[in-house]
Structure 1
């Protein structure tokens, strides 16, 4: 039986380990891929140790998304062919029930059905030399344009999720030219991606956060000179509301997208959520896409009187993924070094502990860490 190397998490009490595992074969509806680069988030160690309560079925190969090259495809593949470069989307949905979904190699979802789908059909993720993925989760990347013409590197393309996740929420909120959107907090990986994507979509962006140095980085984004304003939050809902409203020219914003981390809800409703909701104009929409596990309080009558919509968005839709990739290919959205998406380091599978150490230090925009299972 053919084998390959993979990082296997067998217990939350033990370090993730490099093991030799059986190599899968292509079946109907699947593709076998050689992993070239997979992003390692700053919170990866918290997942590996169980500190973050993500649903996993151990032992398991982790790793949610990657850029890979197709090795083999199932007999029902029409467009996907061996040799093609693809982005592997981690959002897997049951083919007979789109409400049943989970994140490949990261989170089994919130239902027994989604957890069974991960456990029995798509158990292993991308921190491996080889990964098996659904055909519909493999987005073909135009290598001639992206790498040849535009000069992107594989690692740049492996960073797509940082922009793709917020793009899903921004598009659903109707963000675009002539609209004002508040992004708060705005200095993390996904929130920074929201600023980058919103600017590319033509919106005026109010980026808010407590980290002044992080806010300064956003001013280098394409379109920032014309349509970006930053607001330093002071953790006072009244003062922050006034500052945000002033940044909108006193007229309020049409949309607000939130990427609060889990820690933000440790002491009740974060003041920035209250301030951002207060700054929305009549008919505005708030999109929750962060990681708060606790309850959040809102001003019921204040929201009702202004016709405010609050929505939550998990990841993005497949049509949105295709749109974003085309935006990059067409040059509408610039990623990579030109947008501050710098590379902190690349590590082989055998260097995972070094990779985790570095990733933990890079919670802001840039300095991204990648696992590179097939060097050379």
Structure 2
């Protein structure tokens, strides 16, 4: 089968012929109908610092935001049958560490990840543990279902930030995760949501199409100026989804005393923070990564109820053979969510 793989620790990806996978014990084989290009996939494509742990796993088929149909199940799998439509939580807990024993598999100390540590979904078929599969609600199409994972990342960030009714929020970054955070913050009751990007007009326009009236191009206005103009002063919550070190200090500057800054971007180098200011302002710095099983249940309900409101996030649809072109679109900020459709010819 055709697959998109990371074959060497350098820039780029390769389109290769790979063997058809077979499900092991407790697993199913999924025929992939839609798989999204994620920001972390772009980091792998560019070979950004922080992904050296992938070296020993190459060649590796990447891709972890996907939906499809079960075509085969291992003999010991009784919860899923061929033909069932599913999306898959790619973060697989070990089930044995302290976090797993405490009922917090999202904090597993030995987790593996589909598309990062085991073969992923930029292919026609992928295997996954049946326990990681979520049946799709009736009527939810595959391309919307394939956005469950990034929407869960956004929802989890908002949970970590504890956004409350009437609070003011700044989201730094207008990519898929930033826009997911903005959507979930609005659903949580934020009274003002400001979406900021840098030379990012295509994605800021998508934010406006999603109903966000407060968008800021930081190439034309500083964050301080924009927040003062829109919110009238410091905000309650700041969410960082850029991976740019300067966004942390910029975000802290517009955060009210006692406010929370949630860091969700992957940073290639350390960030310097004035801890004295952080202490005196009683700021809280929280990290967010991935999601929890309960988040998946919540987001799938949202998609079932109002899936069309999320569709503007999909900016491009391409065939598997064109995946590398999709990565170039993603890294150039010319796209929000590029959806790869392996069945498209």
Q: Please indicate, yes or no, whether the TM-score normalized by the shorter chain is above 0.5.
A: yes
Tell me the equivalent position of 1:302. 277
Cα pair 2:161 2:237 within 8 Å, conserved = yes
Tell me the equivalent position of 2:31. 34
The verdict on how the C-alpha distance between 1:332 and 1:277 changes in structure 2, with shifts beyond 3 A counting, is farther
Tell me the equivalent position of 2:215. 230
Give the drift of 1:157: 2.3
The verdict on how the C-alpha distance between 1:303 and 1:44 changes in structure 2, with shifts beyond 3 A counting, is closer
Cα pair 1:181 1:254 within 8 Å, conserved = yes
C-alpha separation between the residues in 2 aligned to 1:332 and 1:344?
17
Tell me the equivalent position of 1:149. none
C-alpha separation between the residues in 2 aligned to 1:31 and 1:177?
41
| TM-score (norm. length: structure 1) | 0.77
Give the drift of 1:173: 0.9
Cα pair 1:197 1:333 within 8 Å, conserved = no
C-alpha separation between the residues in 1 aligned to 2:75 and 2:168?
47
C-alpha separation between the residues in 2 aligned to 1:81 and 1:52?
41
Residue number among 245, 248, 253 corresponding to 2:231 in the alignment: 248
Give the drift of 1:155: 2.0
C-alpha separation between the residues in 2 aligned to 1:131 and 1:241?
46
Query: Per-residue displacement from partner, 1:300-330 (whole Å, max 9, x unpaired)?
Result: 2222123211011111112112111112212
What are the ranges of 5 or more consecutive residues in structure 2 without an aligned counterpart?
Answer: 98-107
Tell me the equivalent position of 2:101. none
Give the drift of 1:286: 0.9
C-alpha separation between the residues in 2 aligned to 1:212 and 1:319?
33
C-alpha separation between the residues in 2 aligned to 1:366 and 1:20?
28
Give the drift of 1:84: 1.4
C-alpha separation between the residues in 1 aligned to 2:35 and 2:240?
25
Superposition pairs of residues 183-332 of structure 1, within 5 angstroms: 183-185=171-173, 187-203=174-190, 204-211=192-199, 213=201, 214-222=203-211, 224=212, 228-233=213-218, 240-250=223-233, 252-261=234-243, 264-265=244-245, 270=246, 272-331=247-306
Residue number among 93, 103, 107 corresponding to 2:113 in the alignment: 103
C-alpha separation between the residues in 2 aligned to 1:170 and 1:45?
23
C-alpha separation between the residues in 2 aligned to 1:233 and 1:82?
49
The verdict on how the C-alpha distance between 1:276 and 1:45 changes in structure 2, with shifts beyond 3 A counting, is closer
Give the drift of 1:32: 1.6
C-alpha separation between the residues in 2 aligned to 1:215 and 1:194?
14
The verdict on how the C-alpha distance between 1:43 and 1:303 changes in structure 2, with shifts beyond 3 A counting, is closer
Cα pair 2:259 2:284 within 8 Å, conserved = yes
The verdict on how the C-alpha distance between 1:355 and 1:212 changes in structure 2, with shifts beyond 3 A counting, is closer
Superposition pairs of residues 122-133 of structure 1, within 5 angstroms: 123-133=118-128
Cα pair 2:37 2:65 within 8 Å, conserved = no
C-alpha separation between the residues in 2 aligned to 1:326 and 1:156?
12
Superposition pairs of residues 35-54 of structure 1, within 5 angstroms: 35-41=32-38, 44=41, 47-48=44-45, 50-51=47-48, 53-54=50-51
Give the drift of 1:284: 1.4
Cα pair 1:200 1:333 within 8 Å, conserved = no
Structure 1 stretch displaced more, 204-213 or 363-372: 363-372
C-alpha separation between the residues in 2 aligned to 1:141 and 1:161?
13
> Is 1:355–2:313 an aligned residue pair?
no
Tell me the equivalent position of 1:115. none
How many residues in Structure 1 have an aligned counterpart in Structure 2? 328
Cα pair 1:65 1:125 within 8 Å, conserved = no
The verdict on how the C-alpha distance between 1:43 and 1:288 changes in structure 2, with shifts beyond 3 A counting, is closer
Tell me the equivalent position of 1:59. 59
Cα RMSD for the two superposed structures: 2.8
Superposition pairs of residues 130-169 of structure 1, within 5 angstroms: 130-142=125-137, 144-146=138-140, 153-169=141-157
Cα pair 1:42 1:361 within 8 Å, conserved = no
| TM-score (norm. length: structure 2) | 0.83
Residue number among 7, 16, 19 corresponding to 1:18 in the alignment: 16
Tell me the equivalent position of 2:88. 88
